[in-house]
Structures are given as structure tokens and as C-alpha cells.
Amino acid sequence: MSASTALLTDRYELTMLDAALRDGTASRHCVFELFARRLPGGRRFGVVGGTGRLLGLLRDFRFGDDELRYLRDADVVSPEAVAYLESYRFQGSIAGYREGELYFPGSPILTVEGSFADAVILETVALSVMNHDSAVATAAARMSIAAGDRPLAEMGSRRAGESSAVAAARMAYIAGFGATSNLEAGRRWGIPTMGTAAHSWTLLHDSEEDAFRAQVEALGPETTLLVDTYDIARGVETAIAVAGTGLGGVRIDSGDLPAVAATVRAQLDALGATGTRITVTSDLDEYAIAALAASPVDAYGVGTSVVTGSGHPTAGMVYKLVARQDAAGGWVSVAKTAEGKGSQGGRKSAFRSLDAGVATQELVEIADGFEQLAQPGDHPDARPLQVPLVVDGEPVSDHEGAAGVESARKHHLRVREELPIRALALSRSDPAIPTVYLDA
Amino acid sequence: MSASTALLTDRYELTMLDAALRDGTASRHCVFELFARRLPGGRRFGVVGGTGRLLGLLRDFRFGDDELRYLRDADVVSPEAVAYLESYRFQGSIAGYREGELYFPGSPILTVEGSFADAVILETVALSVMNHDSAVATAAARMSIAAGDRPLAEMGSRRAGESSAVAAARMAYIAGFGATSNLEAGRRWGIPTMGTAAHSWTLLHDSEEDAFRAQVEALGPETTLLVDTYDIARGVETAIAVAGTGLGGVRIDSGDLPAVAATVRAQLDALGATGTRITVTSDLDEYAIAALAASPVDAYGVGTSVVTGSGHPTAGMVYKLVARQDAAGGWVSVAKTAEGKGSQGGRKSAFRSLDAGVATQELVEIADGFEQLAQPGDHPDARPLQVPLVVDGEPVSDHEGAAGVESARKHHLRVREELPIRALALSRSDPAIPTVYLDA
């Protein structure tokens, strides 16, 4: 496996680069925009995810010997293009929404500026990261809202590609989860990890009692015992008999959860284990979590639904050329106009209008060139949404690593407070606030 | 980023290992099985994906300094467990279905044998790979069936996590696609790549004609021109004016495809470009492909739907302990019995019963120990389904790399021929053949 990320790229980007080197358009200054035409699934807001990871991948976006040899041997591009790529490194600039920020249809989530050659070949890697991570973040935020103050853990690694699983753990944490089962996410970004035992632990032993005793000896009575391998009532009884009434928690991974949770709570209380917590983990999504709000559940573990975006595994964002220089060096706004997939040309600046701290609209100001762009102070009742992410090829390191994760999480939890109440409902609807375009 | 895959693991696997080292059960010989309780989405068959990749990841499943330091510093496991993991390498054996093979509910897709310590910690990495790759493979096979003899290209990298995208390109190819847009998949496994230009190519130029001319000069008249940036009829006219009637193809990425394809075909024919192919690429899935069967379309490009498993992004496979030694060294079949998630204990051998070359049932023979397992010759009218994948810790290299991909693809296309006709329908139904359990 190569450490380079440069071939996480669709072939047509290099084909275009090749042709552009020949006809001289490769050096035209361009503005590409990454945005979503709509929010998937009738959701009311989206959550931007992936920014910090993308900046890390950009650092490794260099064509090394392996990559160049492949492009040459497989005749992907001309020898001239191979020579150009040998010294390629992105030298343009990227501004965009902070990770964890909310987005709406048309929000200019990333604005990539540079020569055509510089910017065109980032299309696939940028979209892969942002589409996946934003899909997970958006689903996770809905679950976090549904869970209220009860802690949520992400444990879906097994239901996602092995690398996407690590990214998903990161996004769930940014969007409000408290922990993950994924150890690589713990190692890489310092995200808290959790987990005690699977059914195989109980089945490995000659009896459930043996299994519980060994676990309590190893992990202490504050551990969580999985009580549903055989019969839940017997499992709870054995758990308390072995660990005592100071047992930290029991986990239930099957059955009709509202009914089971109530029964288990009553049983624990009757046994005197009034402080023993109940964690449920069986195929939860935001709707199941909401339906358990009145049940005596202390914590949720969420797997498949969070890592797969709860029915919407990709955010559907696109990467489009919106402005470029013409042959004379002037600025031209450009957009595809064919049916159904039109987009808004022009470079944009974006603000979230607020009324007494509550978001009222996504304000997107369009300019043809750079000079006329709205500046942060231009809309005093609105919060500017774009920050510099890459400046002249250099990623702004604040957004990367464990510190980037913590700051994205804080930012997300803070800006979520700006949502109008109606945005918190789980049912399908329109975006919570309208996107309003202004000509600068 | 670390090259080790050892922390693509849920924390509870290491917690169990830790406790098992203390109570002596870590060395108990165990059999874990990876299988699916059901086929997602009312599908009629599943396609096994990921085997070859998993074997590669197992080679890197070692705990290096970074991993051990994290486990120690974050107090994930005891110092004794850290010491054990320092020299960990999987020393057990894995048998299973070949990549590209079909599977049904209960098919023993992987059987992992070894000590509890050996086998328990592979759960997450094995499931991540197999769940993701099988979900893509199953969706891709349905699309390949719907497309019939028309070539299919995978171009969904931008709608999947950047590493999952590479894996998805590989699986689509194994399941019958002819090419991918993903260059890393081309480099890594020699999969044919394709792609010419995006809308940004046309928008970069001062006119569509300039863009087409530059592309034809760079790539020759056999290239494919994207004709729907502005007006499709004008785009087609310009394309032929620039490239001549020998133009290789036009691509259409928007609009009502059956109507548009018919109009464009008529226009191309009227212009004398009777050999110019039409490729369509707009939000296709297996249903849209089937609906285009009677339209004059020459090739399909599929994005989002194939990389996201067409509505089912994970195959829902599980990894369960099915047999183990007891304290006396005898074999015990084990299974969770709680509501809804029961499974079939015991080690299994699997055969596909055939009648005149057509599959009639998935025959799964269950044994308590090893000695009584059915052997390949035991069912003369059935094809044995399990092959050795890892023997005493050593991956069988036939399944890895570019050669593994080609052989999986051939195997898939061959065994797909065994499906009864009813299995080829796209509508929701039961599995095409029943799974029948026999006691050995």
C-alpha cells in the first residue's frame, strides 16, 4: 500500500489536466466550489464533516515513483503530463466551512482556488472525504439530539469499510457522541474508547456465571456485563449475584427494548442494584433512540445506522467550477445549465443570519471576481461561515489532529444551539432555514 | 498513519483477551464463523466480497510500537495483555467461500479456527472488510445482470470514503463491471480505468467548441465527449462538427435518459455518426439500467448506487463463536439463544446442490468436532464451497493481489451461471435457494 493519496482520483481529472497542459488552459486561474444541491432524506440541516482529515490527505497528495510508474505504464496520460505531475503539489488556497458547522443547500462548503491544473485534480479526494464524513456527521447529530443528555457510543466499525470506520468514529464524536469502540480512532485522535465483552465471552465459558466472574475479576465490579446471551432475567440475576449491587452496568443487545429495559430496571431495583446502569445496543437509529426517551435506559450504543448515515450513506455533495479567468485575464462566472443539475456560478461568501441567536437564513453573496466579495463585517447580524483552510498550498494546522477534532466538536455543539426548534424534529421536511442568494 | 491494521478493532475484543489471559480461557481452541442471518433488501442472492483484501490486512495485523504505546498509555488493557500483544500474530487457520462466490442466509462464509486469543481479535477487521465489500459486490452483480452485454463502468469514488472507494472499484470489477474511474484501484490491482472529461472541462473554455477541439486533439477522435453542459442537441452537433463522424462516443449525465438517448441516437445517425456510442451516467442503479434495456444506450457509468450497495451499504454479516473446547478438551457447539438473534452452533461444511447445473439448495452440514465434518466427495451432486484461506497463520496467496482479483471475477461469473432464472429478477423476494442444515 502506498502512503501517497494522489491516486484517490478519478481518471478524468488527469485526462483533463493532460489536455489542458496541451492547449494552455492548465494555468487559467479557477474557483471550484464543493456544495450540496439538497439535504438528503428530507433532513432539516446537514453537518460538515471531513475537513480536518482532508487537510491531512492533501499533505500526502504527491505523485511518487509508484504512482508515476503506473500512470506511465498504463498510458493514463502523456509523458508530458507525467513529468508535470512529478513535481505536483497543490499550491492554491482553500476556504470553507469549519468542520462541525451546519450546512444547507447551496452552502459554499469549500472554495478551492488555484490554476485549473492545481484545483481540478482534488475533486475526487475532496468529495470522497466530505461526502462520507458529512453523511455520518449529519446522522450522528440527529442521534445526539434524540438522545438528549444520555451518553451515546459509536460501535459500528464492523458495518463500514475498515478505514471509513475510523473516520466514522471521528465524525460521531464531533457530532455529539461521547465515545467509540474503534481503537484506531482512539489512537489517532484521542477519542475516548469503550467496550467490555461480546456474546462470545459468555459462550467461551462453561457457564454464564464463570464468564461474569472472570470479567469482574479482570475489570472490576464497575464493568458492564452483557446479560442477554441466554435468558435476560437469569442473566441479570447472575450478574448481581457475581458482581454485587455495585455492578456498573448491564448491556442488552436484543429484544423489544422498551419492554426489556423496564423489566430489567425493575429487576435491578428489586435486587438492590439501583445504581446499576442499563445500556442498550440493538440496531438503534435516531428514531429508536427517540422512542426510548421515556424508558429507563442510561446509555445507547449505536452501530450500523450511524456509520452508514442512517439510510443516507453519502451527502451527495458535488465539486464544480464556478468562476475562471478568460483568455484576457478577466473573471467569468460559469455554471452548467442543462436540465436538473444546474448550479449557481460565481465565487461566494456565506453568512448565517441570526435573530436573537436563532438562525434565520443562509446568506450567500455572489461576486464575479475577488475584489467585490463581502467581508466579515458587512453583515453585522450574521455570522461569517468561511475560514481559511489552506493558504498558498499550506494547510492551516488548527484543523488537523486531535486538537482539530476537539475544536470541531465544540464548534458543532455550539452552532447547533442556533438551530430553530423546528430543526430538531426527526421527521422529513424542508431545510430549517432558506438559502438566500445576494448579488454583491 | 500507521501501516499496522491491528487497531482496526473494537475495544471489547482486547478487553476479552485481557480477561481470558487471566482466567486461562485464552488458550481454549475455538471456532468462529462469519455469516449473514439474512440477505438485505429482499435480495435473492449475495456475493462474497473482501476475502483477498482481508488476507492482505491480516499480514499487517501486528501490534507495533505506536499501537502498544497507545494501549498502554490509554489503559485499554493490562500490562500483561500488552506484553502478549507485542508478539501477537494470527496462528490459526481460516477456511471459507472464495471471493466472488454466491452466499445465502447461514452460509459459513468464513470459519476461523484457533485459540480464543488468536481468533477473537479478528472480529472487527474481518467484518468491516467482508460487510462492506460484499454489500458492494451484491449490488454490482445485480447491475451487471441488468446491463446484460452492455459494458458497465464504476465511477462512484466521490460518493464513498476515500479508501472504501478503492475497495468498491475492486468489488464492482469482480462482480462484472468492466472498468473503474478510480486510479488507485488501477494501480493496485490492474483493473482497467476509464474517464475523459467533466463539465468543468467545458466550462474552463471560452466555448464548448474550444473544449471539444482541445479534447479531441489531446485524446484523439475515439474519445468520449460530454455533451450536456449547456444544450444537448447543440452539444451533439458541435461534437460531430469538431471530431467528425468517427467520434468514439458521447456521454450524457442528466435528463430523462430513455427520451434523451433516443433523441441523441437519432441525431447522431442523421449526422452520419452511426458508430458513435452513447454512454449514460446519471444516477443509475440496477432498476434504471433495466429500464434502459430497450433504449439505444451503449454503455453505463454507475456511481453512488454501486459504491453504497444500492440502498444496503452493509451486508449485515456477524462473527460468532460456534464451537469451542471445554475444560476437559472435548468439543462443545455453542450459540446465543436470546430472542431474535439466535444462531446455529457447531462447525460446518457447505455445499451447493446442483441439478443439471442449476443450484437447488445451500447444504450446510453441522459437526460437533472436526473429525466428523463432511468431505468434498461426500455429496457427489453438490459443489463444495469452502477452500483454505489461511493455514496455520499463513495466508494462501492465490487470493491476493491482481491475480486474486482476476480469479475471483472469473469464479463469480462462472458460479452466477448456476443461479436459477428466478434469482435474476430484481424485485424483492426470498433467497433463490433454501439453506438446508444436516447433522453430520
State pLDDT tens for residues B118-137: 999 999 999 999 999 999 99
> What's the whole-number mean pLDDT along residues A129-147?
98
DSSP B182: B
In DSSP terms, which residues pair with A332 in a beta bridge? A324
Under the banding of pLDDT at 50, 70 and 90, the label for residue A380 is confident
Segment A390-399 shows an average pLDDT of 94
Cα separation, B145 vs A72, in Å, equals 34
pLDDT at B343 over 80: no
Dihedral over Cα of B72, B73, B77, B80: its sign:
positive
Q: Is residue A241 part of a domain?
A: yes
Residue A132 has pLDDT above 90, yes or no: yes
**Cα B151 from Cα B5, distance rounded (Å):** 35
- Evaluate whether residue B1 is within a structural domain: no
B115, β-bridge pairs: B29
Residues A239 and A133 in one domain: no
Share of chain B above pLDDT 90, in %: 90
Look at residue A183 and tell me if it is in a domain: no
Tell how far CA B348 is from the center of its chain.
Answer: 23
Contacts of A205 (CB under 8 A, 6+ apart): A211, A214, B25
Task: Determine the Cα–Cα distance for residues A49 and A97; give it in Å rounded to an integer.
Answer: 10
**Are A272 and A319 members of one domain?**
no
Nearest CA in chain A to B308: A313
Task: Report A:162-181 residues touching B (Cβ under 8 A).
Answer: 162-167, 181
Q: In the beta sheet, which residues pair with residue A361? A: A353
Cα separation of A176 and A426, whole Å? 16
Chain A residues with CB inside 8 Å of B30's CB?
A: 200, 204
pLDDT at A2 over 60: no
Contact A203, A209 (CB under 8 A): no
Q: Does ipTM exceed 0.90?
A: yes
B262 with B344, same domain? no
Tens digits of residue pLDDT in A42-93: 999 999 999 999 999 999 999 999 999 999 999 999 999 999 999 999 999 9
Round to whole Å and give the CA distance between A128 and A9: 9
Q: How far apart are CA B21 and CA B26, in angstroms?
A: 5
> Which domain range does residue A106 map to?
11-137+312-439
Same domain flag for A121 and A25: yes
Closest to A102 measured CA to CA, from A436, A420, A395: A420
Q: What separation, in Å, do the N-terminal and C-terminal C-alpha atoms of chain A show?
A: 47
One domain, residues A320 and A292 = no
Q: Does residue A397 belong to any structural domain of this protein?
A: yes
SS3 B209: helix
- Name which of A12, A167, A255 is nearest B339 (Cβ-Cβ): A255
Among B159, B324, B337, select the one facing A314 at the smallest CB separation: B159
For A339, left (φ over 0), alpha (ψ -120 to 50), or beta?
beta
Work out the mean pLDDT of chain B and round it to a whole number.
95
Does position B2 have pLDDT exceeding 60, yes or no? no
- Whole-angstrom Cα distance, residue B317 to residue B314? 8
Q: How confident is the model at residue A1 (pLDDT cuts 50, 70, 90)?
A: very low
- Residue where a domain terminates, one of B264, B297, B330: B297
Adjacency order of strands within the sheet including B347-355: B382-384, B347-355, B358-367, B435-439
Q: Shortest CB distance from A162 goes to which of B8, B158, B183?
A: B8
Coil, helix or strand at residue A71 = helix
Interface touch A15/B197, C-beta < 8 Å: yes
Tell me which residue has cell 459443489: B383
Q: How many residues does chain A have?
A: 440
Residue A329 reports pLDDT greater than 90 = no
- Nearest residue in A to B54, CA atom: A162
Q: Could you give the 3-state DSSP secondary structure of residue A391? A: strand
**Gap between the Cα atoms of B270 and B129, Å rounded:** 50
pLDDT at site A370: 55
In whole angstroms, what separates CA B75 from the centre of its chain? 36
pLDDT value, residue B200: 96
B369: pLDDT strictly greater than 70: no
Q: How many residues does chain B have?
A: 440
- pLDDT tens digits, B396-426: 988 999 999 999 999 999 999 999 999 999 9
Q: Are B205 and B179 in contact (CB under 8 A)?
A: no
Whether the Cβ atoms of residue A226 and residue A196 lie closer than 8 Å to each other: yes
First-to-final CA distance of chain B: 47
Q: Would you call B230 and A337 a contact, using CB atoms and an 8 Å cutoff?
A: yes
Looking at the DSSP assignment, which residues form a beta bridge with residue A394? Answer: A391
- Segment A107-112 mean pLDDT: 98
Does A359 share its domain with A248?
A: no
Residues in contact with A320: Cβ distance below 8 Å, sequence separation at least 6, in sequence order: A32, A33, A35, A335, A336, A343, B199, B200
Q: What's the pLDDT score for residue B372?
A: 61
Single-letter amino acid, residue B6: A
Task: Specify whether B235 is located in the same domain as B320.
Answer: no
Residues A335 and A385 grouped into a single domain = yes
Find out whether A185 and A153 touch, Cβ atoms under 8 Å.
no
Inside any domain, residue B83: yes
Q: Of A191, A245, A195, which is closest to residue A224 (Cα–Cα)?
A: A195
Closest to B195 in 3D by CA, of B183, B207, B211, B209: B183
CA dihedral B154, B159, B161, B167 (to 10 degrees): -10
According to the model, what pLDDT value does residue A379 have?
86
Q: State how far residue A207 is from chain B, nearest Cα, in angstroms.
A: 11
Look up cell 442444515; give the residue.
B437
Question: Which range among A142-151, B9-18, B183-192, B374-383 shows the weakest confidence by mean pLDDT?
Answer: B374-383
Q: Is residue B430 part of a domain?
A: yes
Task: Give residue B370's pLDDT.
Answer: 55
For residue A307, being part of any structural domain is answered with: no
Domain at A45, CATH number: 3.20.140.10
How far does the CA of residue A414 sit from the closest CA of chain B (Å)? 27
Q: DSSP state, B434? A: -
Higher pLDDT pick, A151 / B372: A151
Among the residue ranges A34-43, A182-191, A193-202, B362-371, the one predicted with the least confidence is: B362-371
**Boundary of a domain, candidates A266, A297, A328:** A297
Overall average pLDDT of the B54-65 stretch: 97
**Does one domain contain both B279 and B335?**
no
CB contact under 8 A, A131 and B160: yes
The per-residue pLDDT of chain A, averaged, comes to 95
DSSP 8-state class, residue A370: S
Decide if A90 contacts A390 (C-beta within 8 A): yes
What would the mean pLDDT of B141-155 be, rounded to a whole number? 98
Into how many domains does chain A fold?
2
Residue B280: helix, strand or coil by DSSP? Answer: strand
A96, A206: one domain: no
| CB within 8 Å of chain A, chain B residues 402-421 | none
CATH of the domain at A201: 3.20.20.70
For residues A415 and A321, membership in a common domain is answered with: yes
Q: What part of B 335-394 touches A (C-beta under 8 Å)?
A: 335-341
Neighbours of A330 (CB within 10 A): 10
Buried/exposed code over B305-318 (b: 16+ C-beta within 10 A; e: otherwise): bbbbbbebbbbbbb
Sheet strands side by side (includes A435-439): A382-384, A347-355, A358-367, A435-439
Mean pLDDT along residues A183-208: 97
Q: Which residues pair with B300 in a beta bridge?
A: B152, B280
CB nearest B158 (choices: A28, A67, A131):
A131
Q: Which residues on A lie below 8 Å from B230 (Cβ)?
A: 336-338
Distance CA B267, CA A427 (A): 46
Cβ separation of B217 and A304 shorter than 8 Å? no
Q: What is the pLDDT of residue B189?
A: 98
**Is there a domain that residue A191 lies in?**
no
Judge whether residue B1 has pLDDT over 50. no
In angstroms, rounded to a whole number, what is the distance separating the alpha carbons of residues A184 and B74?
12
Choose one of B253, B272, B297: the last residue of a domain. B297
Q: Rg of chain A over CA atoms, in angstroms?
A: 25
Closest CA relative to residue B115, chosen from B30, B216, B228: B30
Q: Could you give the CA distance from residue A129 to residue A125 in angstroms, rounded to a whole number?
A: 6
Judge if B289 and B349 occupy the same domain: no
